[in-house]
Amino acid sequence: MKNAIILHGTCDKEEYYSDEYPSASNSHWIPWLQKQLIIKDIETCTPEMFKSYAPDYSLWKSEFEKNVINEKTILVGHSCGGGFLIRWLSENKNVKIGKVILVAPWLDPENTRNNNFFEFKIDSNIVSRTEKFLIFNSTNDDKDIHESLEIIKNNVDNVKIRNFENYGHFCYRNLGTDAFPELLEEILN
């Protein structure tokens, strides 16, 4: 049976602890996408990564690995969630995955978090272990996202990129909606 795991990115500490904002796994297009996949009979989870304002790889890995992950699994990662998936896939070379779609993946190229979350060697053969591996990129995203994309392009063989004009960081404030039909289409296609 197909299943999907959607990983959110980081937020700042004030947003994390504020009741004015939804949790990261319930932000932006994530709940909409989860519902659309459930409607298509794809079991979908959106794990909440603890203290996402200060990502800790071992905590994220532990939470992520609670899920079924196999050759039918669809992985979607936004921002730091996308960076996490690159590291996890690089460190788990024996795992085959269905589809992987990274939305504005972030690898903290300037080490702004000052932790070891992104201290790893990217496996250049990630794409070969998937049915589909695609990155969504926006022309007007932040500089560190574009730097992360360059790192990925320079280190991952056969990576495909779908560029969007003026989608920002693919957040609600950029898209103006919680729907993300382009992402749904790529997952179902």
- How far apart CA 75 and CA 81 sit, in angstroms, is 10
The pLDDT score that the predictor gives to residue 114 is 65
| Mean pLDDT (10-residue bins), the chain, 189 residues | 95 92 94 98 96 94 96 97 98 96 94 83 97 97 96 96 96 94 96
Asked whether 92 and 177 are in contact (CB, 8 A), the reply is: no
Neighbouring C-beta atoms of residue 131, cutoff 10 Å: 13
The pLDDT score that the predictor gives to residue 113 is 73
Q: In what helix (H) or strand (E) does residue 63 lie, and over which residues does it extend?
A: helix 57-64
- How far apart CA 106 and CA 86 sit, in angstroms, is 10
* Host domain of residue 9: 3-188
The pLDDT score that the predictor gives to residue 111 is 82
DSSP state letter for 122: P
Asked whether 68 and 3 are in contact (CB, 8 A), the reply is: yes
Asked whether 29 and 183 are in contact (CB, 8 A), the reply is: yes
Supply the Cα-derived Rg of the chain in whole angstroms: 15
SS3 category, 154: helix
- How far apart CA 48 and CA 41 sit, in angstroms, is 22
- Strands 43-45 and 97-103 come out as unpaired
- CATH code of 166's domain: 3.40.50.1820
The pLDDT score that the predictor gives to residue 79 is 97
Number of domains forming the structure of the chain: 1
- How far apart CA 86 and CA 89 sit, in angstroms, is 5
Neighbouring C-beta atoms of residue 174, cutoff 10 Å: 17
